[in-house]
Amino acid sequence: MAGAREGILFGMGNPLLDICINTGPEYLAKYDLEPNNAILAEDKHQPMYKEMAAMDNVEYIAGGATQNSMRVAQWILQKSKCATFMGSVGKDEFGETLERKAHNAGVTVRYQKQIAHPTGTCAVVVTKNGKCRSLVANLAAANHFTKSHLEIPENRALLEKAKYFYISGFFLTVSPESILMVGKHACDNNKTFCMNLSAPFLCEFFKEPMMKAFPYIDIIFGNETEADKFSEVQGLGTTNVEEIALKMSALPKENSSRSRIVIITQGADNVILAKDGKIRKFPATKLSEEELIDTNGAGDAFVGGFLSQLVQEKVVDKCIKCGIWAATQIIQRRAGTTDQKSLGRRRWESLSAFT
């Protein structure tokens, strides 16, 4: 597979064990949560984790936005160890579970392991029969990643080996200095650096580290809600998603050898691409009510599908189409699984469109 060599893709983020339940809107109200949103846990949310763990329908999934995307990209690429991931976990059973899941998916992980902090968890509250999800992240050990981990010689070697980098916006709350280190490395070596807006609260409350990283970003992902908040906070003066995407693409950029690409997803509506002052639209795959099982992880899967083609140097059209395909596969499965046995046949039948 041309371009998909070992270690070509490098991700950095918050490895979390997802605790998932499918319930009704009353549970959102109980903890003052909004559907289709992501927040960091406050004191009032702490009882959720034990409460959800005791429920009959609870599911545990190896998660964290960037790690999810790395696993999906690796799943599509098939060739082992194309993707490398770094983040911080506790020296505990949950951390071992995350590491085992990543290795089983073919992803190389180099966790920074914390003795004093447990592995982070994320409460995933799915409502409306899988169509809405609310995420409440308790970062714990994930919040203690330090740039020094990247400076360990064997980890630095993995950074230098990679050609494409992806970091979700959630990591802005943890180690913005690590993001800048990776972004500058990519810029100085003419490599491709990708990020994600990830959540409206990041655009609003972490705007300073976000905008420090922005000049290094070659490809930025987001959804329509995040784009709207970004426009509001940055004073772009529009609520039109296409205009927002164009203005984001034109913001100052360090590496002038390539234009910034902005990709905005809109659920079941068109994916918006802004590049070189032009807008293009790509239709999302429409699913029936019966086919749509669980939207949790759809955005991460889109990015993973996109990256799987980007590292093979495919044109942006094919990257987006594979992103749409990957997200469509994931939302037809409970809890966003990328199980090879259940999806393998559909993978090979469908991916012929991208090769």
Q: Cite the active site residues.
A: 300
Over residues 29-41, the pLDDT tens digits come to: 999 999 989 999 9
Residue 323: what are its φ and ψ, rounded to 5°?
A: -60, -45
Per the rule left: phi > 0, alpha: psi between -120 and 50, beta: everything else, 57 is alpha
- Mutual orientation of helices 224-234 and 241-249 as an angle, nearest 10°? 60
322: left (phi over 0), alpha (psi -120 to 50) or beta: alpha
Q: Report pLDDT digits (tens) over 205-259.
A: 999 999 999 999 999 999 999 999 999 999 999 999 999 999 999 999 999 999 9
Q: Which two tokens stand for residue 96?
A: 């071992």
| The predicted structure's pLDDT at residue 347 | 52
Provide the residue-wise pLDDT of the chain in tens; the chain has 355 residues: 455 899 999 999 999 999 999 999 999 999 999 998 999 999 999 999 999 999 998 988 888 999 999 999 999 998 779 999 999 999 999 999 999 989 988 999 999 999 999 999 999 999 987 778 899 999 999 999 999 999 999 999 999 999 999 999 999 999 999 999 999 999 999 999 999 999 999 999 999 999 999 999 999 999 999 999 999 999 999 999 999 999 999 999 999 999 999 999 999 999 999 999 999 999 999 888 778 776 778 999 999 999 999 999 999 999 999 999 999 998 887 654 555 444 443 453 455 555 5
Cβ partners under 8 Å of residue 180, min gap 6: 212, 213, 216
- Mean pLDDT of the chain, nearest integer: 91
Give the pLDDT confidence score for residue 343 in this predicted structure. 47
Q: CB within 8 A of 160, min separation 6: which ones?
A: 185
Quickly tell me which residue has 């160890």 as its tokens.
81
Q: Check: CB of residue 20 under 8 Å from CB of residue 61.
A: yes
As a whole number of angstroms, the distance between CA 71 and CA 76 comes to 9
